[in-house]
A and B are shown apart, each in its own frame.
Chain A
Amino acid sequence: MASLKDIQRKIKSVKNTQKTTRAMKLVSSAKLKRTEELARKSKVYAAKLTELLSEIASKMANANCDGIDLPYFKNAENPKTVDIVFVTADKGLCGGFNSQTIKRVNLLLKEHKEAGIESRLVAVGRKGVDYFRFNGVELEKSVIGLSAAPDFEKAAALISEVAKNYLDGKTDKIILVHNGYVNMITQEVRQNQILPVDYSNLELNSVSTSELAIEPDDNNELLEALVKKYIEYTMYYALIDSLAAEHSARMQAMDAATTNAKEMVKSLSVKYNKARQEAITTELIEIISGMESMK
C-alpha cells in the first residue's frame, strides 16, 4: 500500500504531465491550422501542374507512335535499382505517425529484396534517419530539418539530386513515401512513383481532344521543364502534406494523453481518499480502544 505522500506526489506529477500535453496539443492545433492552409493552397497548384503534364504527355504519346523519347518517361522493364525517398518527422510524440511510414518503407524493402531489386534509401526527417541507422540499414542520403520547415528551394535541390542519379542511369525508379494529411483525425500513408513519370495512371479528364499547339516548338524543352517542375513540386507538396499530417497526429496523440492523464488523476484521487479514510479509521480505532482500556 502506497503511503499518502506517495500518492500525492504521483498525482502532482501526472497533473504536470497533463499540463505539458495540453500545451503541446494547443501548439499543434495552431500549427496545423497554418500548415493546413498552406497545404490547401499548394494543392491547387500541384493539381493543375499534374493535369497539364498528363495532358501534354498523353497527347504527345498519341501524336507520334514512338512515344516520348525523354528519359523521364522511359519505363524500365526490369528495374534493378530503386530509390525510395521517404519523409518522416523530426520529432516524436505523435502517435504512430512515423512508424506507419517506416513500416511501409520496410514493406517496400522486403518486396524489392524478394524481387531481386536493389533499394537505396533517401531519408528526410530525424526519426526515419535514426530508425534505419539504429537497425544498421545504410542510407544513401539523409536530410534533417527539412520536414519541420518545408522549403521549396531545399526540396527542389534534394529531389534534383535524386533525379540526377536517375538520369545518369544509377537508379531505374524513384518512389516517394510519406504520411499524408486527410483530415483532422486521419492520416494516410501515400506512395508515389515520381520517376519515370507514370502518366498512364494520371487521371485524365479529356475535355478537349483538339490539336495542341506548343510553344516553344521544341516539345522536349517544354516537357522537360514541366517534368522538372513537377517532381520538384511533388516533393515540396509531400513535405507540406507530411507536416500537416504530423501536426494532426500529434494533436490527436496529445489529446489522448491529456484525457488519459485526467483519468489517471481521477483514479489516483480515489485511491488517495481511500487511503486517507483508512488512516483516519485506524487512528480512531486506536483512540477508542485506548479510551476503552483506560476505563
Chain B
Amino acid sequence: MKKYFPFLIVLVVLLGVGAKLLPPKNSGPYDVVGFGQLPVLENGRFKPLHTVARNSLLQFQGRQRVVAADGRELTPGEWLMDVTFHSDLADTYQTFEIVHPEVLAIFDLNPDSGLAGKRFSFRQMDGKLAELERQAKLAFPVESAVRTTFQRAVVQLYANLLHYQRLKYTLVGPGRDDFLGDLLKFQENLPAGIAAIQAREAKQPYDEKAFAAIVGVGEVIEAMSKTAEILVIPPDTTEADPTAWQTAGAALLDTFKTKQVSAAALAYAGLAHAWRLHQPEQFNQLIKLYRADLAKRFAPQVAKAQAETRFNVAEPFYSGLIIYALAAFLAIFSWLAWPETLGRTAFWLVALGWIISTGGIVTRMFLEGRPPVTNLYSSALFIGWGAVALCLVLEYLYRNAIGSVAAGTVGFSTLFIAHYLQLSGDTLEMMRAVLDSNFWLATHVVIVSTGYASTFLAGFLAIIYIFRGFFTRSLDKATADALTRMVYGIVCFATLFSFTGTVLGGIWADQSWGRFWGWDPKENGALIIVVWNAIVLHARWGGMIKQRGLMCLAVGGNIVTSWSWFGTNMLGVGLHSYGFTDAAFVVLTSFVVSQIAIIALANVPLEKWRSFQGGAEVRSTPRPADTASVR
C-alpha cells in the first residue's frame, strides 16, 4: 500500500486538475463559451470577451464568481452578456466590492445589505452616483501617493463604475428593448432619413417621421461611440490594416457614410435579441456564423482568443497554488512520520505543480509573444517557478524533504502574491516602447528574476534550519550540514545570476538611455542584492560567520530582495511620499519585520534550541530520508 501511496495521491490530484484542462462546456442551452471566445481589441491587444469579463470582475470584486439574487451562479461570459445585453438585470448583481465604511456612507449602505458583507450592486448605488462623482473629482487633483484611504477607495470605485458603464455601451445600445429592430429600421429609413436631416438643416420642409426614426437611434449610437472603449467591430474587407478595429458606436456612425449597417454590429445586436428573448438556437447559430466569418480573415486572432479562453478556464496557477500547499503540508509532515512515503509523495506533487506552472507560463509566452517576465505579475510567477525548479534539484540530490518544503512554501507564496497582483487589470498588457525589446526581456529580466528567486530560496532554506533547530529536535548534524551546503550553494548561484542580470540591465540602460549606471531605485535595489550576496560569501570565506551566521545573513537576503522587488516600486510612485497607506506597503513592512524576528530568534543561545539541548550538539539519529540519498 505504502509503495503506491505517492502514485495514488498524485493521480487523484492530477484528475482533479485535469478536468479543468478539458475544453470548457456550456452548462445551459446557450453557447456562452463561444461568445466568450470572440476576439476584441482592447488596450492594443486582441483578447477574447471572456478575458474582458474576467479581468473586469477581478478588478471590481477580487473574484470572478457572480451570484444572482436568486442564487443562480453566472460564468464571466454570462455576466458580460447580461451587462451588455440586459443591463437592467446586471445592475442588480452584487459585483462591486466596497469595504471602506465612509464610502458606504455615501450610498447610505451598511455591510449587512451587501453580499458577504462587502459586495454591492449598481442598483444599490444608483441614486447617489452624483455624490460619488463629486468626491472623486475632489480626490483627483491629490497626487495618488498622498491620497487618504477614503480618497483611494472613492477613486477606485469611481473608476470601476466608469468601466462598468463603458462595458454596457460596448456591444449594443443599452436600455433598448430591441436594438436589432432599431438597427434594421435604421437601415431601412436611412436614405429617407438622411434626406430629411439635410432638408431640415437647409430649413426646408422635411419628412418628420423619417427624421425621428433616424435621430432616435442616431443618439444611442453616438452615445455608444463616445462611451465605449473596446474595439469590437473588425475592419471590412477593403481595409488593409488588421488592427483597424472600431468600437461598435463608431462603426455604426459610419453607416451615414457607407449606407450599410456593419454586419458585425448587426451580429451583436442579433445576439442581444436572442439572449433577451430566450432563443438559444438563434443565438448559437449567430455565434457560429459570426465566428466562421471572422475566422476567414482573422484566423490567428480567433485561434489565440480560443486558446486564451481555455487558459482562463484552466487556471493553471490556481491549481499550482493548491498543489504546492498540499506538497508543503505533506513534506513538513514527513519530518514527523513516514518520511519515505510522504517525502516521495511531496516530491512528486511539487513536480506536478511545477509542470502545471510551466505549462501556464509557456501559454502566457505564446499568447503574448514575449519572454516570460514582462511585468510585476509575471515576475512573481517566474520567481516562484525558478525557485521551485532549484528545489526539485535539491530534493533530487538530498531526498530529505527540505527541498519539497521549500518548494511548496515558496511556490505557494509567489502564486499567492501573483493572485493579488492580477487584480489590478490585464496581466498580458502591451509593452511600452522603452521595454519593447524581446532580447533584453529574455536576458536581463529573466536572469535577474532567477537571481531574486535563488536569493529568496536561500533565505527560505535558512528559515527551515532555524525553525527546525529551535522548535523541534529534528535538526541533527547531517541535516544541519546538508542545509548549510544547500544554502551556500544557492547563495553562490544567486550571486552569479543577480550579478549577471544586474550587469545586463546596465548594458540595456546604456543602449537605451546612454548610461550604464544611473543609480535609480530599481538599479540600486538589484545592486544591493548583489552586494549582499557578496557579503555572505566573503564573510563565510573569511571565517567571520559559521552555520548560524550564514543562516542569519541568508534570511537577511529575503529582506533586501523584497525591498528590491516591491519596495523600490513604491518609491517610484509620486516621488514625494512612500504611499504608507498602501496595503502593499503594510505587507512589505510586516514581511521585513518577520524576517528580522527570525534573525533575532536565530541569535538565541544554542542551549535554548530544542535540537541542541542537553549539550548533544552532534546528534546522530539516522533518518531513512538521509540514508536514502546514498542509494
Do A and B interact? no
